[in-house]
Amino acid sequence: MKIIVTGGVGFIGSNFVHYIYKQRPDWQITVLDALTYAGNRDNLKGLDENRVKLVVGNTCDAELVDKLVADHDAVVHFAAESHNDNSLENPRPFLDSNIVGTYTILEAVRKHGKRLHHISTDEVYGDLELDDPHKFTEHTPYNPSSPYSATKAGSDLLVRAWVRSFGVQATISNCSNNYGPYQHVEKLIPRQITEIIEGRRPKLYGTGENVRDWIHTEDHSSAILTILEKGKIGDTYLVGANGEKDNKTVIELILKLMGKNPTDYDHVNDRPGHDMRYAIDSTKLRTELGWAPKFTDFEAGLKDTIDWYKANHDWWQPQKQATEAKYAKTGH
């Protein structure tokens, strides 16, 4: 099996590369990544270069994508602009990477008859009320709120159209919020851990009642491999681990695990259009494909993540100052 992983030096893509490197020792992996601010080639450190090749390039580059796809069996497509706050400041790169990038991959897999798995997010479904008894399912209508989630929704709809109109052999997964090592310091959990390490207070948007459904990135990787190998062509699978927590609880837990007073955080400006709650019903993936998450103890996973950031200062420090300078401008 020769596989292309787009966005394979980002947070989740690189976790998936390490995961299949271990789980499928006979696979050849080509990572296609533009090395944006979110990509770090060090994320592939330690992997045998005879098995894992990094091609630095953009998913919007049709000639490059066509050439690579012709020479591989499957594409797992992670590459995207992924941060909501950035999409509110400057939406354009989201249209390029998320929409045009996905279109370019689709045209190449269509031409060469190759398998595609498209990685998406639960945010395409919009948000739920705090007391809504229902969670998102594969049948929930699309209702994205931000430029990020709107472009992810658009990319999913392109994949569905290419399956129906052109018979492209694709599956889609929509996952909830990931956490774990190697996540960029712009995101909620790494931001607060590194703020505390640097002697500052965590920053909670608005009241902090907003709920996210946390899953360890390693569980996301195992779900993707399951869908790639056993998923039904044309189908969508929701990935989640029943990890609903409000942001206030997450920040208080980080403070507690780092030996601080749990109330030592600041309320900062809320995110415009801030989604209230996400929650995933992953019954289809569990019952039809037999997947189950392994890292279901959130406190233990968070503790390991904190330890990783404490031990890997050199990995996150170069990004920290620029990230906080951006947040200072928006009052976040």
Closest CB to ligand NAD among 35 and 47? Answer: 35
Choices 48-56, 88-96, 107-115, 185-193 (CB under 6 A): range interacting with ligand TDX: 185-193
DSSP conformation letters of 227-270: HHHHPPTT-EEEE--S-EEEHHHHHHHHHHHTTS-TT--EEEPP
Q: How far is the CB of 111 from ligand TDX (least distance, A)?
A: 29
CA nearest neighbour of 13 among 108, 117, 91 = 117
Q: Which residues bind ligand NAD (CB under 6 A)?
A: 6-7, 9-13, 33-36, 38-39, 58-60, 78-82, 97, 101, 119, 121, 152, 175, 177-178, 184
Tell me if 48 sits within 8 A of 27, measured CB to CB. no
With CB under 5 to 8 Å by kind, the binding choice for 13 among ligand TDX, ligand NAD, none is ligand NAD
Closest CB to ligand TDX among 30 and 155? Answer: 155
Provide the edge-to-edge strand list for the sheet that holds 2-6. 52-56, 28-33, 2-6, 74-77, 115-121, 170-175, 236-239
Regarding 191 and contact with ligand TDX (CB under 6 A), the answer is: yes
Q: How far is the CB of 199 from ligand NAD (least distance, A)?
A: 26
Within the chain, residue ranges assigned H as helices are 11-23, 62-70, 84-89, 92-94, 101-112, 147-166, 188-197, 217-230, 247-257, 283-289, 298-311, 313-330
- Binding mask 246-265 vs ligand TDX (x if CB under 6 A, - otherwise)? -x------------------
C-alpha torsion sign, points 82, 148, 234, 58: negative
Question: Applying CB under 6 A, what is the total number of residues that bind ligand TDX?
Answer: 16
Query: In this structure, are strands 74-77 and 178-179 parallel, antiparallel, or unpaired?
Result: unpaired
List the catalytic residue out of 81, 123, 186, 275. 123
CA nearest neighbour of 216 among 47, 15, 57 = 15
For residues 255-314, which are near ligand TDX according to CB under 6 A? Answer: 271
List the catalytic residue out of 122, 213, 244, 275. 122
Choices 71-79, 158-166, 203-211, 289-297 (CB under 6 A): range interacting with ligand TDX: 203-211
The residues, any chain, with a CB within 8 Å of residue 200's CB and separated by 6 or more, are none
CA nearest neighbour of 305 among 218, 240, 241, 242 = 218
Regarding 38 and contact with ligand TDX (CB under 6 A), the answer is: no
* Closest residue to ligand NAD in the complex (CB): 10
The rounded Cα 65 to chain-centroid distance in angstroms is: 21
Per-residue tokens: 94: 């989201």
Tell me if 157 sits within 8 A of 146, measured CB to CB. no
* Whether residue 132 lies in the annotated active site: no
Regarding 188 and contact with ligand TDX (CB under 6 A), the answer is: yes
* Whether residue 148 lies in the annotated active site: yes
* Whether residue 123 lies in the annotated active site: yes
Choices 43-51, 70-78, 81-89, 226-234 (CB under 6 A): range interacting with ligand TDX: 81-89
List the catalytic residue out of 148, 179, 182, 265. 148
Interface with ligand TDX (CB under 6 A), residue from 6, 82, 226, 282? 82
With CB under 5 to 8 Å by kind, the binding choice for 97 among ligand TDX, ligand NAD, none is ligand NAD
Regarding 117 and contact with ligand TDX (CB under 6 A), the answer is: no
With CB under 5 to 8 Å by kind, the binding choice for 119 among ligand TDX, ligand NAD, none is ligand NAD
Per-residue tokens: 165: 């109109």
What is the distance in angstroms between the CA of the first residue and the CA of the last residue of the chain? 45
Just list the catalytic residues.
Answer: 122-123, 148
Q: What are the residues binding ligand TDX (CB under 6 A)?
A: 82-84, 121, 123, 177, 187-188, 191, 203-205, 210, 212, 247, 271
